[in-house]
Structure formats: structure tokens, C-alpha cells
């Protein structure tokens, strides 16, 4: 397995401390095993049932908090039947644990002693927990405006918490400066191992639906790691003939910060940096997604679209979902808020999955 730059195609060994290519391009992991139905460890009730398909294929000593295998629950919101994938039941309360679990195992084997990361909350909490579990030291750079609950969660796991004033991007710069001093930059959006972990959500959906892909996936998108993980996972299933086509990917952004929506509207191949405004969907408040080109290509290839919803619609959708017993943070509710806009695109008989990404208890 190698890391390949998506811009210039240069390759690097998978144990490099580099977090992007010399040319500035982002990495993808190449040479991964792909999906093999007969290699699922059916007695393992976690995402490690797919270990033969992950870059962590060993039996003993896997670092885990029991992540993966989240329930798939049917409900109806705004007249649309959906299957909700309850990712907020993950060990730290968000879908990020899938990516972090795989990444931390890779890093432990590499002998990494110290990691840095920047996050608006969920990714930082996830890394802090798995760092604690593995004995790796973690330092998390967060925007000072992040939710106090999330900051408290990061701190209680024992990670060093560094609050950075100013926009989200300042926290990224601070983490990257710390990485230049010798720490491993465990960025959930630059690092290709996190996408490997996230692809398992597609495998699970396929198993839980009795060996089929949904027609549609509706997802909140900031840096787009969940969307790209799903895309990767369903592609693995497609390439071995276990599904006939990819689900349509519907990427939902928050109107106050919607660079991918802007780019999609203008029929561009990549997002351009935008002036963003505050939004209740803080987890996807990303002015310049580093994998924008990949996200837009995946959406177009699958026949999906990019949508944007207002904060008002998001909060109403959060409440609608809570009235059905499902309590998520506002960032997760943007996907539900987009359902009325999709009414003409999604037929009654179609199967639609919405991953519910983060717990309402965090917000």
C-alpha cells in the first residue's frame, strides 16, 4: 500500500509523516484489499468484522472501543420514508470514530508517540478518546467558538486542548505549525486512513439491507469525509459485483457556509474559498474543503446533487427528528432539512439512507 497524490500522482510510503504532497495535493491510499464477502468475520460485532478489507489486517492487539455496527432505523420525515443510520451511537457520539479507530491502529504500528489535530469538536473528541485508549499523546487545536460540551469532552479524555481565536482555519494553521515541529498531523480530512475507516459504513448498510445498496444517500457535508468514505465503500461493493450501481449521493450544506453548493451551482470542478457566516451546523462550517474536487466528482458520477438549507430549516428538522425519538446535533439535521427539496427527486418506492452523524447531547 502507498499514498498517492491526487494532483500530481507522486507516491509516498504509507508510513510517511507527510500529511500532503510536496505539490500541496491530498493523498489517497492505494493498493487496499477491496471487499471480500467471504472474509467478513461475522462473529465480530464491530467494524473490525471487515478487518481483511482494511489497512489493519491483524488478529491480535487491535485498539478498539467497539466502534461500528450502528443500528439502521426506519422512520418518515416530511413525508419521505428514510432509514436512519445511527452513527451518533458511536463510542464518542459521532461517526468520526470509524476513521479514528483505523487511523490510530496504523499510527500505533508506526510507533507514533504524539499526534496533533484541529477540529470544531467531534473529530477532536474522537482522536482524544482513541489516543487515550492507545497511550498516544494528543494535542487538539479548536476554534474558541466551539461548543463547550465538545471542548469539555476533548479535555476529559486527557488530551491537551488549545483554543485558537478567530475563524476555523486559524486552528488548522496552528495544528500544522505544531506538526512541523515533529508531531504526526492526524487530520481527519487530510489523512487517507480515516477514509478507509469510514468506508465501513457502506459495507454495513449493504449487510443491513440484506445485500443491496440504497437508491439514495443524503448526507451533511463540510470536508466531505463521510461522503467520500461511503463513495469508496460502495465502489468496493460495485467492483466485485455485489451491487449493480452506486447510490445517488445528495450532499447537503448549511447556507451560511456552502462552498460546494456555490461551486455546484456554477458547474465548477472544485470549490473556491468563500466568505462564510456563522451557522448552527458548526461541524460542517468549512470555507474551503480540501477534497472539494473529489466530492463534486462523486456527486456528479452518482447522479446526485448538492443542496443547501437555512439554519431555521436545520433547527426545525432537528426538532422533527427528536419528535420521532432521535436526538441529533444541528449539523446532523441538515440532511433531514433537505428532504423537502428532494421530494421530486426521490420516489416513494426508493430506499433512502440518512446517516445521523452526531449526538444531540453534544450541542
Contact between 279 and 285 (Cβ < 8 Å): yes
Residues 25-84 that bind Zn ion (CB under 5 A): 25
Identified binder of Zn ion from the candidate list 1, 2, 7, 62, rule CB under 5 A: 7
Q: In what order do the strands lie in the sheet with 11-13?
A: 11-13, 2-5, 27-30
Q: What angle do CA 217, 69, 209 make, to 5 degrees?
A: 50
| In the complex, minimum distance from the CB of residue 287 to Zn ion, in angstroms, rounded to a whole number | 23
CA distance 279 to 69: 31
Of the pair 21, 116, the CB lying nearest Zn ion is at 21
Minimum CB separation from Zn ion for residue 8, in Å? 3
Question: For Zn ion, which is the closer residue by CB, 31 or 66?
Answer: 31
Question: C-beta of 10: minimal distance to Zn ion in Å?
Answer: 5
> Judged by CB under 5 A, which stretch of 7-15, 58-66, 117-125, 344-352 contacts Zn ion?
7-15
Asked if 149 touches Zn ion (CB under 5 A), the answer is: no
In this chain, which of 8, 110, 144, 156 binds Zn ion, going by CB under 5 A? Answer: 8
Residue reference for cell 462550517: 285
Site for Zn ion in 283-302 (CB under 5 A): none
Our CB check for Zn ion shows the closer of 290 and 354 to be: 290
Minimum Å distance from CB 23 to Zn ion? 3
Query: 13 or 210: whose CB is closer to Zn ion?
Result: 13
Identity of the residue, 27 or 184, whose beta carbon is nearer to Zn ion in the bound complex: 27
**CB-CB neighbours of 318 under 10 Å:** 24
Least separation, in Å, of the C-beta of 24 and Zn ion? 7
Give the footprint of Zn ion on residues 15-34 (CB under 5 A).
21, 23, 25
Q: What are the two backbone dihedrals, phi and then psi, of residue 122, each rounded to the nearest 5 degrees?
A: -65, -45
10 or 170, CB closer to Zn ion? 10
Q: Backbone phi, then psi, for 105, in 5-degree steps?
A: -65, -40
Residue 290: which of 2, 14, 25 has the closest Cα?
A: 25
From CA 192, how far away is CA 59, in angstroms rounded?
Answer: 22
* Identity of the residue, 6 or 69, whose beta carbon is nearer to Zn ion in the bound complex: 6
Q: Which stretch binds Zn ion (CB under 5 A): 6-14, 40-48, 64-72, 188-196?
A: 6-14
CA distance linking residue 27 with residue 198, whole number of Å: 16
Min dist CB 231 to Zn ion, Å, is 21
Nearer to Zn ion, 31 or 211 (CB): 31
Compute the least distance from the CB of residue 3 to Zn ion, in Å.
10
Looking at the Cβ atoms of 25 and 256, the one nearer to Zn ion is 25
Cα separations (Å) of 210 from 3, 157, 202, 205? 33, 37, 13, 9
CA distance 263 to 67: 34
Residue of 3, 5, 112, 154 interacting with Zn ion (CB under 5 A):
5
The minimum distance between CB 167 and Zn ion, in angstroms, equals: 27
- The distance of closest approach from Cβ of residue 99 to Zn ion in the complex, given in angstroms and rounded to an integer, is 22
Q: How many residues bind Zn ion (CB under 5 A)?
A: 7
The nearer residue to Zn ion, 270 or 350, going by C-beta atoms, is 270
Segment contacting Zn ion by CB under 5 A, of 10-18, 143-151, 178-186, 317-325: 10-18
State how far Cα 329 lies from the chain centre. 15
Alpha carbon distance 49, 42 (integer Å): 6
Measured from the CB of residue 206, what is the shortest distance to Zn ion in angstroms? 33
Q: Would you tell me which residues interact with Zn ion (CB under 5 A)?
A: 5, 7-8, 10, 21, 23, 25
Amino acid at each position: 500500500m502507498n499514498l498517492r497524490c491526487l494532483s500530481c500522482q507522486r507516491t509516498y510510503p504509507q508510513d510517511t509523516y507527510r500529511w500532503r504532497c510536496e505539490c500541496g495535493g491530498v493523498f489517497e491510499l492505494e493498493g487496499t484489499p477491496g471487499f471480500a464477502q467471504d472474509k467478513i468475520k461475522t462473529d465480530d460485532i464491530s467494524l473490525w468484522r471487515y478487518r481483511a478489507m482494511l489497512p489493519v489486517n491483524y488478529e491480535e492487539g487491535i485498539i478498539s472501543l467497539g466502534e461500528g455496527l450502528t443500528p439502521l432505523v426506519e422512520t418518515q420525515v416530511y413525508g419521505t420514508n428514510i432509514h436512519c443510520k445511527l452513527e451518533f451511537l458511536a463510542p464518542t457520539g459521532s461517526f468520526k470514530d470509524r476513521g479514528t479507530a483505523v487511523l490510530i491502529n496504523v499510527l500505533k504500528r508506526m510507533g507514533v508517540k504524539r499526534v496533533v489535530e484541529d477540529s470544531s469538536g467531534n473529530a477532536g473528541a474522537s482522536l482524544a478518546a482513541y489516543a487515550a485508549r492507545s497511550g498516544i499523546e494528543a494535542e487538539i487545536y479548536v476554534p474558541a467558538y466551539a461548543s463547550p460540551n465538545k471542548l469539555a469532552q476533548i479535555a476529559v479524555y486527557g488530551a491537551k486542548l488549545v483554543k485558537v481565536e478567530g475563524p476555523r482555519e486559524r486552528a488548522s494553521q496552528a495544528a500544522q505549525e505544531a506538526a512541523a515541529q515533529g508531531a504526526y498531523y492526524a487530520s481527519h480530512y487530510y489523512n487517507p486512513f480515516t477514509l478507509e475507516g469510514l468506508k465501513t459504513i457502506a459495507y454495513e448498510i449493504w449487510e443491513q439491507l440484506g445485500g443491496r445498496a440504497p437508491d439514495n444517500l443524503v448526507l451533511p457535508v463540510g470536508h466531505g469525509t463521510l461522503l467520500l468514505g461511503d463513495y469508496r465503500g460502495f465502489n468496493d461493493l460495485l467492483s466485485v459485483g455485489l451491487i449493480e450501481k452506486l447510490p445517488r449521493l445528495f450532499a447537503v450544506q448549511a447556507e451560511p457556509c456552502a462552498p460546494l453548493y456555490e461551486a455546484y451551482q456554477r458547474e465548477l470542478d472544485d470549490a473556491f474559498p468563500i466568505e462564510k457566516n456563522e451557522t448552527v451546523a458548526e461541524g460542517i462550517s468549512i470555507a474551503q474543503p480540501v477534497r472539494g474536487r473529489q466530492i463534486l466528482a462523486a456527486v456528479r458520477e452518482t447522479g446526485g446533487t448538492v443542496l443547501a438549507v437555512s439554519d431555521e430549516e436545520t433547527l426545525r428538522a432537528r426538532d422533527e427528528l427528536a419528535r420521532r425519538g432521535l436526538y441529533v446535533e444541528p449539523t446532523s439535521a441538515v440532511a433531514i432539512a433537505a428532504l423537502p427539496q428532494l421530494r421530486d427527486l426521490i420516489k416513494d418506492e426508493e430506499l433512502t439512507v440518512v446517516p445521523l452523524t452526531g449526538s444531540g447531547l453534544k450541542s
